[in-house]
Amino acid sequence: MELYGKRILVTGHAGFIGSYLVRRLFKEMDCGTIVGVDNLNDYYDPALKRYRLQQMEAGRGVPPCTPGGSESGENPSARWAPPLERGGVERGVDYVSVIGSIADRDLVEKLFAEYKFDIVVNLAAQAGVRYSIENPDVYIESNIVGFYNILEACRHSQVQHLVYASSSSVYGGNRKVPFSVDDKVDTPVSLYAATKKSNELMAHCYSKLYGIPSTGLRFFTVYGPAGRPDMAYFSFADKLVRGETIQIFNYGNCRRDFTYVDDIVEGVVRVMRRPPVGETPYAIYNIGGGQPENLLDFVNILQEELVRAGALPADYDFEAHTEFLPMQPGDVPVTFADTEALERDFGFKPTTPLREGLRKFAEWYVRRG
């Protein structure tokens, strides 16, 4: 499937992965329509989400708008599609940014009715394992009700492909590594993981009953510039710069399959182009680095890159700012992606080394201040 001329919905477009995906689509598409929707909730500082929106909207003249109109008085359905030159060929991409929740069924239905999407990429979700223990309601609203609204809208539209974010968290208490998409995932250890597994089951049902081509992507510990502040690499950087103590759980005996955000987006774009076929057009893939890193090695590399970028002084006393603690509820000791299916079907495997990715993050961290 070519992306040329497609009408694409990206939910969670002000989020980490969503913002990178939209910017990539601007480069990929010769013409078409991109609609982003995000509720800009306060799970972490919305200023970072607005920053991402500014990166997307720079030079495009389209402010975020709400179904009821924006503060600037812009028409919420206004489009912007000036011709741009690329290699002597004109191109134009309509881009609309909507502030709203996919849990709002009326909004979802209005967007589908107006834009008649060809491809839907559902990245909107309440993230965070630990947060789900204290705030379960928001996970049901966004991850279950919101995803149901997307499925229902796809059911009543001519959507050619639904791509949605799942998570490595669905592997839960699995002891076999690396994690394969053929493994059973019946032992989630957090509500967040349970909602993501529910998404996979719901999507399979809609694919079976209504023939909706859908692909779920199990992301493994995504990191990079402008990422989520609640993720370890970002929160560690914040705390170290402030002279605070970082907490390393399970006494450092954890391994994570870190995946650089550009690799994630490359995988998403490749998957978007090839919807599954068959009696039940449904597929699941892991997107992960396939090389789990020890948490202590990860912390050491992060510290070195923060020093190199000038965020920390060369003589910073790291040991004095490190505390080792037991495993937290909802965490797992290791994540490790088997990416054989992704390599087989799409000829792609994430390749960005951890040091290179953390170096890019550290340099961005210093630039942004």
**Which one from 148, 192, 260, 282 is the annotated catalytic residue?**
192
59: alpha, beta or left? (left if phi > 0; alpha if psi -120 to 50): left
Q: What element of type H or E holds 162?
A: strand 161-167
Cα 22-25-26 angle, rounded to 5 deg? 90
The question of whether 131 is a catalytic residue gets the answer: no
At 113, list the tokens: 């009715």
The answer to whether 189 and 167 have CB atoms below 8 angstroms apart is: no
CB distance 41 to 135 below 8 Å: no
Give exposure, 265-303, as e/b (b: 16+ Cβ within 10 Å). Answer: bbbbbbbbeebbeeebbbbbbbbbbbebbebbebbebbb
Q: Which of 130, 96, 91, 137 is nearest to 114 (CA)?
A: 96
> What's the start-to-end Cα distance of the chain, in Å?
41
Q: How many residues does the chain have?
A: 369
CA–CA separation, 346 and 299 (whole Å): 32
The set of catalytic residues is 192
